[in-house]
Amino acid sequence: MHNGERQVQVSVKVVFIHHHLRQGGVTRVIEGQIDAVGDVHEVLVITGEPPPGKAPFPVEVVPSLAYDRDRGEGTDGRESAQSILDRVQSHWGCEADLFHIHNPTLGKNRDFINVLQVLQKRGARLLLQIHDFAEDGRPQNYTGETYPENCHYAVINSRDYDILIRAGLSDEGLHLIPNAVRPLPVADHGDGRDLILYPVRAIRRKNIGEAVLLSLFMAEGEGVGVTLEPTGALDIQSYRAWMSFSEHEALPVHFRLGITERFERVFARARCILTTSIKEGFGFAFLESWMGNRPLIGRLLPDICADFMRNGVRFDHLYTKLSVPLQLFDFGRFCEKWERCYGDRLYRYGLSIDEAVIREHLEGLRARGNVDFGELSEDLQMQVIRAVKDSSRDREVLIRMNPFLEEACILEECRDLISHNREIIAREYSVQRNRERLLKAYGKVCGTTPVQRIQGDLLLQMFNTPDANHLLLCDLSYDE
């Protein structure tokens, strides 16, 4: 038996709290964690709205925990905290041993931090697991509140771990708990594999335009497939613009595949899986394809994938940048948008705007003579795609700057690579490893109270450098 398990052999009562249980990343993580520890500990989930279907674990609803957009007037933090404690008492007839709170600092419920602070004052032991930061390109969520002090925190990757250590947390009070990765429920039926599949909900940060660009470099008869539609208003506008653009330019890009067909059948048609995203939290996309016996191609996010690579997962064939010469798009327009977005971002975070820093960044791009395609807004990306599609000269220029484009969708003899990566992922990101990490963290939460606090001003500084300013993450960059 592992050391982490010996520390917590006695069953404890764990309450998982999140704003909702809708289908998606955090819900999927909670379900995986309950699968991992549910045979050792008693669990209860408290959420802000009823789950969309019958949950395989006990659920209690406290409506004041829902997102601000989904509830009415705010409530007093003491009332919400008392409602949580009442649900726990009603369910078990006693108090919980610890509360595992998911995404508590994202700011989508303006009362949530106060609720947690009240719970803490009443003796609750908290493990606050951060998946996303309000300080990281989400100024609309940022409140500037002081986060709960002297409690345990958890993160899903080493990048976030290092950031929180630099922001004031200690090794004893911060836990690295990577998500578990499950095999995909797919079947290898069907004859043809004609798709380069991007299995994603097509929100702006998924950089759909780059997938459209890559369709120009695929073999005859192949196309890019995008599975799911977004739900946010601006994401929907962007998505529909790419559908219209692809149709008008007669590009081999297929949308809504996860809606018109069962995912298993779509996946069976995929020769490989694509990712072009410019921003991820944990990075499931970099692991799941291998578990479905498909190679992954596209854009590597080094800070997110560093943990995977340290464990031995190989991404040698992925690219970290797709350089575009300035003559292929309106660089002046890019500079206008970039300066507007960066200024607005800093203003909304209450940070000072240094005009010299802005000039230095943009002049550096001009001197370099190229910009990463992922840094462009949709309208500028469309300019690049049209130029490459209509001009063999521009196409050759782009290939010279990015030689991988000629082989971006070709992976010969990739069976060994698939086998290698699948074996490592199955071992390092299994439910069993997730269980060991959770049990170890829960043992520490139940046994120790760290003295620590997050320095919010340091978080803001680390997340808001010029290099973090991407137009696809800025509402002001979108043009009809």
Asked whether the domain spanning 195-424+467-477 has the same topology as the one spanning 3-180+430-449, the reply is yes
Residue recorded with tokens 């709960």 = 148
Kindly state the tokens that stand for 217. 């470099």
Domain boundaries, the chain: 3-180+430-449, 195-424+467-477
CATH fold label, 195-424+467-477: Rossmann fold (3.40.50)
Q: Where are the beta strands (DSSP E) in 19-109?
A: 42-47, 59-61, 98-102
**Which pLDDT score, from 0 to 100, does residue 4 have?**
43
Kindly state the tokens that stand for 112. 């949530």
**Which pLDDT score, from 0 to 100, does residue 444 have?**
97
Q: What is the largest CA-CA distance in the chain?
A: 74
Kindly state the tokens that stand for 165. 């250590």
The per-residue DSSP string of 110-134 comes to: TTHHHHHHHHHHTT--EEEEESS-T
**Which pLDDT score, from 0 to 100, does residue 475 have?**
94
Q: Which CATH code fits 3-180+430-449?
A: 3.40.50.2000
**Which pLDDT score, from 0 to 100, does residue 2 have?**
42
DSSP code at position 145? P
The Cα–Cα gap between 188 and 297 comes to 19
**Which pLDDT score, from 0 to 100, does residue 23 have?**
80
DSSP code at position 418? H
Q: Give pLDDT < 50 ranges for the chain.
A: 1-8
Q: pTM for the full model?
A: 0.91
The Cα–Cα gap between 339 and 355 comes to 9
Kindly state the tokens that stand for 39. 């045979």
For 256, other C-beta atoms within 10 Å of its C-beta total: 15
Q: What amino acid occupies position 45?
A: V
